[in-house]
Amino acid sequence: MALGGEILTWFEGAWHNGNRAILGAADHGAWQGTLVFDGARSFDGMVPDLAPHCRRILRSAHAMGLEPPMSAEEIEGIIRDGIRRFAPGAPLYLRPMMWSVEGSAAIIDPLPEATAMAICLEGLALPAPGDFALTVSPFRRPRQDTALTEAKAAWLYPNNGRIVREARSRGFQNALSLDLEDNVAETASTNVFMVRGGEVFTPVPNGTFLAGITRARVIDLLRGDGIVVHEVPLTVADFHEAEEIFLTGNASKTMPVTRFEENRLQYGPIARRARSLYWDFAAGEPV
């Protein structure tokens, strides 16, 4: 998917301009859905938490039954080389990917040693905070005993797509999705936080959603700033009582919610503080 800006694709040991084709029609990953990926960001000469993102794709690959063809450090080095090929400070989406080329004798599971890899760097501006309306989705998140939720796997994202598509059909930008026990998991594309009584609450990881790298960073930064952060089961009713709601994720990093269902919300002091703390942290992670 081209996100709209300049694209560089690393494949088979070299950089290529544009949206380079990387999968064959008979590749196991193309028809059995074994592609895993990760996403990091570079902007304003900063590349926050690149190393954890490179380590996470290895974990996703192993969870999928793939054997990564290179180390996290090698992936990070290639990505940094690619960033330097763009204009200084360009806002980029950084996406390493792995998939199986061949299946095993049973066909449906991947042959671990037949793992291919590509890295796609795309120009993509970071959105500024603005009006952002959130609803609740009718679609649920699978449990870890019903799906391979421990991997950041491409095949999980069609469900996310229908969550956001349905929300937009009702005039919202995104939606909370619930797990099978009625706990809030996350939105279609971000982790979610709420503020009540000056303290921060976020869903406790329970295997039904990806507890993101930006999420973990923001939790650490807030706690280091003296703000209490609770990781607990949360329901939709909890969010109706929120004084602030904000989101974290790779594409936008931190983003305030200004309307939840029919409730108007402020871009409050804690959401502003989370964004400020994150940008201060990112400044210490140069390209």
Condensed to tens digits (0 to 9), the pLDDT of residues 129-171 reads 999 999 999 999 999 999 999 999 999 999 999 999 999 999 9
**Residue-level pLDDT at 259:** 98
**Residue-level pLDDT at 106:** 85
What is the Cα–Cα distance from 202 to 208, expressed in whole angstroms?
14
**Residue-level pLDDT at 3:** 62
What is the Cα–Cα distance from 218 to 273, expressed in whole angstroms?
10
Write phi, then psi, for 62 (nearest 5 degrees): -65, -40
Tens digit of each residue's pLDDT (9 = 90 or more) over 28-55: 999 999 999 999 999 999 999 999 999 9
Give how far the C-alpha of residue 239 lies from the chain's centroid of Cα atoms, to the nearest Å: 22
Give how far the C-alpha of residue 282 lies from the chain's centroid of Cα atoms, to the nearest Å: 17
Structural domains in the chain, sorted by start: 7-123 (3.30.470.10), 133-282 (3.20.10.10)
Residue of 33, 196, 14 whose CA lies nearest to 119? 14
State the alpha helices, DSSP H only, in 96-185. 157-169
**Residue-level pLDDT at 5:** 82
Q: Which residue has the tokens 């999420």?
A: 215
Residue of 240, 248, 244, 243 whose CA lies nearest to 277? 248
The whole-model pTM stands at 0.96
Determine contact, residues 10/82, Cβ cutoff 8 Å: yes
DSSP state of 169: H
**Residue-level pLDDT at 105:** 83
**Residue-level pLDDT at 2:** 56
**Residue-level pLDDT at 4:** 62
What is the Cα–Cα distance from 104 to 102, expressed in whole angstroms?
7
Distant-in-sequence, close-in-space partners of 128: CB < 8 Å, separation ≥ 6: none
**Which amino acid belongs to residue 41?**
R
> What are the per-10-residue average pLDDT scores of the chain (287 residues)?
80 97 96 97 98 98 98 98 97 98 92 98 96 98 94 96 98 98 98 98 97 98 98 98 98 97 97 98 96
